[in-house]
Structure 1
């Protein structure tokens, strides 16, 4: 049991989640298990380097022990060598939040990584593709990723930095949307409660299509985002009717010269989608669509309804509005460590309203 605890604490340390008490506990366990201390040093070096295409027999033994600590189930066969690279680089995520599942030997093996509330996960593939998984999200990918194909199924939100491979594009499946990528950086949001799939392109190019109308392909340019409703219906409420400005996200920490881009709501004969420009929120100096990677909740000229949806996920609550007109009020701002009450009071400086918090429910009322 103490050895299993050692590996759990190691995972928390690598993920940056370990408390001071847990770090002290880890040091004591390492003194008791000298062999594990050497193993831990190897994994920490691999995590820090975020590279490594091959493994040794000793590395395979490390993987055996990590799997034994995280999922004590008898294995039917060993993971292939390349898979170890991905597992080693996201060992903390697997230990703390997720379980790496393997399918039957006669079927295609799929690996799964998921996160819980207030947790992020980093995954580095052997081809150099990296994924940052937001909270309450899940990705699955073929175990032979990069050998004959590159495919990922996403539920939730993730930021992708895809290594170029013209002969083997990456395909991301999110609800009713397919995203084809050759090599680029972008964000995809497709939580179960979302009414559409939002793809925000930072650099490079992606091709977006709907499973319902696969022949209709939309090519995104840098600094653009597209939202395709799950039903293929009308414009999404989070983007319709909002005029954006484009700021280059090349340096996320600072705004740069604006490049106006016309806001578009497009309707083809069969496919409806919303195309908008990305922008930098001037106070936080972050692009709202990827601010979550910096542990910030950012919104720029968004409706109260849209802000409430983000706050629901951020704080783990449910919002209820007294009337629909309140939902249309527009806000700009950012939160990081503020409590729910502090955030709501900050919003009251922009628009006067009343709120009542009852456990995990928030009631928004018009100011009397």
Structure 2
């Protein structure tokens, strides 16, 4: 989701003028982006603190409430029908003005916060569980257990820099103007839009890079001119004791489609869905959790959900769906029954 769309939805939520569908989109954006979550937390806190101090905003909100009530009552007993009607609709203007004021204030606060944190580094450690990250530019990253990832807080705006320890699968959004650099040990991987797996656990003597699609360029951190181009269905093996500047230590080997799937098999636990009908999502949940799901409501089958499941249990997953829609469920052995 683009930043201006995110700010627009957030301003509507802060002004209590957001629809259910818009709120789902906003929640998804916050849950899948550290940057958006941080901005949402800070903006919400900012407006809550300002609420008691800003009498003009309070008066505007009070006026808005009165306007809405008058419209619901069709202006009964309050409107002089004999009076000439003005072409200028003050009620619509006030509503638009309120949203614009909130949006403008949000933009100013975001700009200030971004200037302060532009040089900060965002870090994430998976610990003993796998995880999924969606960065601000749309790049998707699956992180294996005991892996650590760090990236610049203004990721995707001026630069895209990532450091990795452990194992990760990257699906990178193409941006020729801002290439992505991944730093792993003493090598740098440059990508402009591709998918690949990097295995760089500290206890292993090798760094391994397997390319699924696109092109990536691998070079020595201290010697960028000493580089190798990796093509799809190729695997690069780099000893950690690599002699600086010696490209003969790079070992590229072809890899079959089956072996390539085995390289990324560990990512299969991650389930990503966006505006997906429950009847279709149930099929994917059955495969992930190896059970049977029955939906006892025709209307509920067509209900759409968005989210990401990684290491959640089936109960935790269903409880997550309940946050978007008040469904009920029962679990008995390998059978799940979902209903309104």
TM-score range, shorter chain: 0.3 to 0.5
Please identify which structure carries the higher helix content: 2
Q: Structure 1-normalised TM-score?
A: 0.43
**What TM-score do you get using the length of structure 2 for normalisation?**
0.47
Q: Which has the larger radius of gyration?
A: 2
